[in-house]
């Protein structure tokens, strides 16, 4: 997509095809990892000569990097619209962030989640109620309301939901879910790995308690994620990792330790400064961009992608009930009579297209969707778009699938 001035690296990469020719790579795998924004690469390139350890160094470069690292938190705070007293903890990725949240959740908390979640939001919880995947946003809200009513208010509850599905692109009704949670005194955590790159998230306005996301899906490199939200649970829990940086004072005897408060408590070890700065640069670039324009371009391409695939007789699009109005540019599908791996391999070899195949780390959900679609294949193919995707990429995919399907 060409809206705004945002651009990604790699759009001129050429790949070899099986007939010996070369073609510009069509990356349609943004839901796995998005390419790096030019703005992010520039910021990282500028910082690399000043690379130095943060927090404990007295040298000028240590001080500079410490300042950049702390400024990166401020960028995340602004990007997410956090409350002033929210904590922003840098993690390795969304999986790490949600495991950190699971670690700090008070012991008697009931966690409510849905079958439609990515494994990162399905597996970390111990005391968990897993609701069936809803077929509409309204169903999601009423299922949560009913469950919270049954639970009552005698123990803490945490609703842990996705912002948008990595299998179907369905965007979840966060404001409504947060309102339902609030009425019952429950908290809400959002896995925003897919949502954050595509929609404005306003933690304070939506009434969210925690948000987790990953840099590598937000047009920054791998290795950094965020858990942002209420400080109290984070400050009360033992550090996620024990070690240097997470301490205020360590005595001579074993076990004599006062842990640090604030984000440092859960960031033991030398932090990924470059990763945090890169992620923050992506946040800054997206915060400054015209997201409405980006969204409208993305919606146009999403419709072209979805309809182009759905029109092919042998194609079954997953989760295609029409009851979920708002969707990101993610379409998962099967091709009757062709193995999923064959589809993705042929797309790469004959058309220079990168997609993903499998169950997308959402095994129960994707299996359910395959069953509902009447697919015989045990896995699916997923195409996903973002900044840098063009009509030509989408049309090439549709031509490729038509060829593979023999129609």
Q: Which residues are catalytic?
A: 361
What x/- string results for residues 312 through 341 when contact with ligand PMP is judged by CB under 6 A?
------------------------------
Structure tokens at 295: 């969204």
Shortest distance in whole angstroms from residue 134 CB to ligand PMP: 16
Figure out which of the listed residues 8, 34, 80, 193 binds ligand PMP, where binding follows CB under 6 A: 193
State which residue, 198 or 216, has the beta carbon closest to ligand PMP. Answer: 216
Kindly state whether residue 94 participates in binding ligand PMP, applying the rule CB under 6 A: yes
- Token pair 């979640």 is found at 117
Kindly state whether residue 99 participates in binding ligand PMP, applying the rule CB under 6 A: no
Window of 117-125, 146-154, 251-259, 262-270 that interacts with ligand PMP by CB under 6 A: 117-125
Interior angle at CA 362, CA 146 and CA 142, nearest 5: 15
Kindly state whether residue 162 participates in binding ligand PMP, applying the rule CB under 6 A: yes
Shortest distance in whole angstroms from residue 293 CB to ligand PMP: 24
Q: Which residues pair with 380 in a beta bridge?
A: 358
> What DSSP line would sit under 324-391, residue for residue?
---B-SEEEEEETTB-HHHHHHHHHHHH-EE-EEE-TT-HHHHHHHHHHTT--SSSEEEEE--TT--H
Say whether 43 sits in a helix, a strand or coil: helix
Window of 63-71, 143-151, 189-197, 317-325 that interacts with ligand PMP by CB under 6 A: 189-197
State which residue, 77 or 194, has the beta carbon closest to ligand PMP. Answer: 194
Window of 3-11, 53-61, 87-95, 99-107 that interacts with ligand PMP by CB under 6 A: 87-95
Q: Do β-strands 26-27 and 87-91 pair in parallel, antiparallel, or remain unpaired?
A: unpaired
Say whether 20 sits in a helix, a strand or coil: coil
CA neighbours closer than 13 Å in the CB half-sphere of residue 142? 6
Q: Interface residues with ligand PMP (CB under 6 A)?
A: 31, 93-95, 118, 120-121, 162, 166, 191, 193-194, 214, 216, 361
């Amino acid at each position: 997509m060409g809206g705004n001035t945002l651009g990604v690296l790699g759009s001129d990469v050429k790949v070899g095809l099986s007939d010996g020719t070369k073609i510009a790579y069509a990356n349609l795998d943004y839901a796995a990892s998005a390419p790096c924004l030019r703005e992010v690469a520039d910021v990282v390139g500028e910082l690399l000569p000043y690379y130095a350890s943060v927090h404990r160094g007295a040298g000028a470069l240590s001080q500079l990097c410490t300042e950049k690292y702390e400024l990166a938190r401020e960028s995340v705070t602004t990007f997410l619209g956090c409350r002033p007293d929210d904590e922003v903890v840098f993690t390795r990725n969304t999986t790490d962030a949600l495991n950190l949240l699971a670690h700090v959740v008070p012991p008697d908390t009931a966690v409510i989640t849905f079958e439609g979640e990515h494994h990162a939001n399905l597996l970390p919880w111990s005391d968990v109620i897993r609701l069936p995947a809803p077929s509409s946003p309204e169903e999601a809200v009423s299922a949560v309301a009913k469950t919270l009513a049954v639970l009552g208010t005698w123990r803490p509850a945490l609703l842990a939901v996705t912002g948008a599905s990595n299998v179907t692109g369905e965007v979840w009704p966060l404001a409504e879910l947060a309102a339902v949670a609030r009425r019952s005194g429950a908290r809400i955590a959002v896995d925003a790995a897919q949502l954050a790159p595509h929609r404005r998230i306003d933690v304070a306005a939506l009434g969210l308690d925690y948000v987790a996301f990953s840099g590598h899906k937000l047009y920054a490199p791998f290795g950094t994620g965020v858990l942002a939200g209420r400080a109290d649970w984070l400050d009360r829990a033992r550090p996620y990792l024990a070690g240097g940086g997470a301490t205020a004072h360590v005595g001579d005897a074993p076990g004599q330790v006062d842990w640090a408060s604030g984000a440092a408590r859960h960031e033991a070890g030398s932090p990924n400064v470059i990763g945090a700065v890169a992620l923050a640069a992506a946040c800054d670039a997206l915060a400054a961009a015209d997201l409405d324009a980006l969204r409208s371009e993305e919606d146009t391409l999403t419709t072209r992608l979805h309809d182009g695939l759905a029109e092919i007789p042998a194609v079954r699009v997953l989760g295609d009930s029409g009851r979920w109005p708002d969707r990101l540019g993610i379409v998962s599908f099967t091709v009757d009579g062709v193995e999923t791996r064959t589809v993705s391999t042929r797309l790469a070899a004959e058309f220079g297209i990168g997609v993903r195949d499998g169950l997308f780390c959402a095994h129960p959900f994707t299996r359910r969707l395959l069953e509902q679609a009447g697919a015989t294949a045990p896995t699916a193919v997923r195409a996903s778009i973002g900044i840098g995707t063009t009509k030509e990429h989408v049309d090439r995919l549709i031509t490729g699938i038509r060829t593979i399907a023999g129609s």
